[in-house]
Structure 1
Amino acid sequence: MAIPAFGLGTFRLQGDVVIASVKNALGLGYRVIDTAQIYQNEAAVGQAIAESGVPREQLFITTKIWTENLSAEALIPSLQQSLAKLRTEYVDLTLIHWPSPGAAVSVAETMQALVAAKEAGLTRAIGLSNFTTALMQQAIDAVGVDEIATNQIELHPYLQNRKVVEFARQKGIPITSYMTLAYGKALKDRLIQAIADKHQATPAQVILAWAMQSGYAVIPSSTQRANLESNLKARSLMLHAEDMAQIATLDSNDRLVSPEGLAPAWD
């Protein structure tokens, strides 16, 4: 299954805020929604989708299995709970949100449970999130590379994660970028602003276009309808080779997401 290049993230959005964001996005033409068990917003996302009137078959919905549900016994029941909250019989993509802390549950056990969930029709594709090269190899060894639809990782101009990206490309695993705007830090970058001025675009459009032209899927979030609409225009922005080269120089291994006790040993 090909991962859509552009979608809506819902991290840190809850209640009426996430309902408004999802409904605005769907009204503007978004059809990809990314959520997770730990976001505690699956029910609100499901409500927004139901109230939008957009047919289920037009949507691509992703959720992620939290660490306490990674065992063979817990994974499918937890995914069934997610489906009930989302008001759908299946999701399009289910990811391991974070590797099991301390390898309490093996990657192989979780991947095999995800394959079972796929075979049961609960999810159409499975994949990874926050996986290093070593952990990706464990997943490949467990179920084969063809089962792995994506590795969703923090990736933005200041953390270009080249070792993970190169390994994934060699293996044929697509990359999804999260935190693509670096919590807004990249929007204030002078180099990116200069590129945006040249193209009569916004900094956000430039960064999202850079990521998509680099071959990554993106899932930016916003609570503002105007920003949701503006971000969509990144799909038609074509940066020049010199623009891409300039943004490449911003890489500084500036990781923003690395929770203690949860993060693996990063590459």
Structure 2
Amino acid sequence: MRIGVFDSGLGGLAISQAIASRLPEYDYLYLGDTKRVPYGGRSQETIHEFTSQALTYLFENDCELIIVACNTASAEALRKSQQEYLPAHYPDRRVLGVIIPTAEAVFERGTAKRVGVLATNSTVESGAYERELIRQNPEAKVVSRAAPLLVPLIENDGLRYAGPVMDDYLAGLEDVDALVLGCTHYCLLKDEIRSRTKVRVVSQDEVVPEKLADYLVRHPEIETRLGQSGERRYVVTDVTAAHEKWARKLAGDEIRLERVTLG
């Protein structure tokens, strides 16, 4: 059985590779819905539909545990997937998101009374980070900023144009104690963002692997069912030259993208 990692595009490869580096012995299957990226401007119903299709594909391909690396899907579809989809279809499997572990890390790694969140439109509008951060620390003040142009720039090899866009999005977030990069794609920009701000930046590729390692220690009934041949497979719903270029940059020249159909 495998660990599945699902993202709306290729940004989740940063988390997938970080997980595999931390836990190299396990078997992995990465699914990027590159045909329909980004999810950030879509309705909750559509995001849940796309997420359910992705979960079905991964479970049908022997995934025991799935990490929904997409923040938009974690915000808009994770709870419904856990409470309705899993009991109806795969009650013995598990689906985990990235918002809770990220929010936990904000307060584990330092004092943060005022927290900034940079995310997609849907994630910001859902209020998921604000709810979880305040649940972790009721005294926290959360300032959220939608950054819808960053994902298209990343997915379309346009990072050379991203500097002024990042500066515009970061304006007004200079006085926070910690800044959450609330989209997996933004992991690719963490160094540039850190060079543009003095605040502590919380990047999910630095958080999720340790949280997953801890989860597996606490759930041996899941860990013992995972294959340990070190296999890594990457599937996407569309393949372009730009996708292949970014995949190689994120995962190495040896990566091979397979095209699959969802739904």
Same fold (TM over 0.5): no
- Structure with the higher fraction of residues in strand conformation: 2
Q: TM-score, normalised by structure 1?
A: 0.35
Bigger RCO (CA 8 Å, 6+ sep): 2
Q: TM-score, normalised by structure 2?
A: 0.35
